[in-house]
Amino acid sequence: MTAAGPLTGIRVIEVGTMLAGPYATLLLADLGAKVVKIEPPGGEISRTVGESYFASLNRNKSGLCLDLNSEVGQHRLAELAADSDALVVNLRPSSIRRLGLTYEALRRFNVRIVCVAITGYGLHGGDDPAFDYVIQAAAGSAALTGEPGGPPTLPGYSSADNSTGMCAALGLLAAIISGRGGQVDVSLFDVMVSQLNYHAAAYLNEGTEPQRRPHGVHPCYVPAQLFPTADGYLGLFVTHDGFWKAFAAEAGIHGFETMTERASRRAEVLTVVASALADRHRRRLGATAAAAGGARGSRSDAARGPRGESPSDRARGRNAPRR
């Protein structure tokens, strides 16, 4: 950040590896926190993945090489803990305890320090390996993704690590605001299970089994999925009748005026919408629906990304160079 952020004055130690921990502290650093990233001799493992990978997760941080297995490293850790507001670590629970990276171990140096442990299944949940894709499979999100009759599908990016990093940053800030030091225990598995929210609620309360639907169809809203067009796929999400009225007028569709009717006649609605969109171009669609608040998207290639193509890209500075 070029100006002082809202977290200026907050000091955070990171003993992070790969993604979840570094992403949590990246969010804090972008908001002005002073983050000191401790790396072992030889560097943190994500440096071997590639320069862009490491840089994308570690901007705005200071680096410090320490061997936490050594007496010297532990002494320096104690000094840092005494002068810091929080510590974020993502390692196996046994390693976190062995290296003294818990509140129980560090409170003697600073009773107000907040220690955030990011693990696969919790600090007391065992040492099983818990990489992002493993967690997505274990928690059930992969089973909900993909085509009916096909295999479970992963989204192509690290949704478990990113989501857990955000939760860890939130937990850290909540603990700091409380004014009391303590242990914050964040589990990748718990975070991903929590994101099943309405799927889990429907199963627990109504016995409705979660299932995969073609083109990523939303289980509640109709239409809400990807539709093929003349020049690629368009993401359409109609959340209420006003959105539908605007979209239907633009697409030349008649009927299905209420959400209740669209939900009860889902197959008919999807057939009609698919037919209406099949020979249209994405950039010529959506203006009316957007004006009414309807959500639609035209990008289908992640590599293209935001390149200043839209007013939103320019207004948000998504392509502004980082200093």
- Of 47, 52, 59, 62, which is closest to residue 17 (Cα–Cα)? 47
Q: Quick one: pLDDT at residue 281?
A: 78
94 and 182 co-located in one domain: yes
45 and 159 co-located in one domain: yes
Q: Quick one: pLDDT at residue 219?
A: 85
Within a domain: 321: no
Q: pTM for the complete prediction?
A: 0.84
158 and 236 co-located in one domain: no
Query: Which conformational region is residue 9 in: left (phi greater than 0), alpha (psi within -120 to 50 degrees), or beta?
Result: left
Q: Quick one: pLDDT at residue 246?
A: 87
**Angle at the Cα of 113 from the Cα atoms of 96 and 17, rounded to 5 degrees:** 35
Domain extent for 276: 215-316
Given the residues 161, 185, 279, 313, select the one marked as catalytic. Answer: 161
23 and 143 co-located in one domain: yes
d(CA 34, CA 37): 10
184 and 224 co-located in one domain: no
Give pLDDT < 70 ranges for the chain. Answer: 1-2, 283, 285-313, 316, 318-323
In DSSP notation, 24-91 reads HHHHHHHTT-EEEEEE-TT--GGGGT-HHHHHHHHTTEEEEE--TTSHHHHHHHHHHHHT-SEEEE-S
Q: Which CATH number does the domain housing residue 244 bear? A: 3.30.1540.10
17 and 157 co-located in one domain: yes
Q: Are 62 and 36 in contact (CB under 8 A)?
A: yes
Within a domain: 4: no
132 and 256 co-located in one domain: no
Q: Quick one: pLDDT at residue 217?
A: 84
Within a domain: 204: no
Q: Are 265 and 256 in contact (CB under 8 A)?
A: yes
Indicate if 161 belongs to the active site. Answer: yes
Q: Which CATH number does the domain housing residue 33 bear? A: 3.40.50.10540
d(CA 214, CA 68): 50
Q: Quick one: pLDDT at residue 1?
A: 45
Q: Which residue, 161, 194, 227, sits at the end of a domain? A: 194
Within a domain: 203: no
Q: What is the pLDDT of residues 150-202, one digit of tens each?
A: 999 988 899 999 999 999 999 999 999 999 999 999 999 999 999 999 888 98
Q: What is the pLDDT of residues 83-106, one digit of tens each?
A: 999 999 999 999 999 999 999 999
Q: Quick one: pLDDT at residue 297?
A: 56
Q: Quick one: pLDDT at residue 311?
A: 65
55 and 114 co-located in one domain: yes
105 and 254 co-located in one domain: no
Question: What's the mean pLDDT when you consider all of the chain?
Answer: 88
153 and 263 co-located in one domain: no
Query: What's phi and psi for 130, nearest 5 deg?
Result: -145, 60
Structural domain count, the chain = 2
Q: Are 25 and 57 in contact (CB under 8 A)?
A: no
101 and 233 co-located in one domain: no
Within a domain: 76: yes
Within a domain: 201: no
User: What does the block give as tokens for 296?
Assistant: 């639609």
180 and 115 co-located in one domain: yes
Q: Quick one: pLDDT at residue 232?
A: 83
Q: Quick one: pLDDT at residue 233?
A: 84
d(CA 306, CA 37): 29
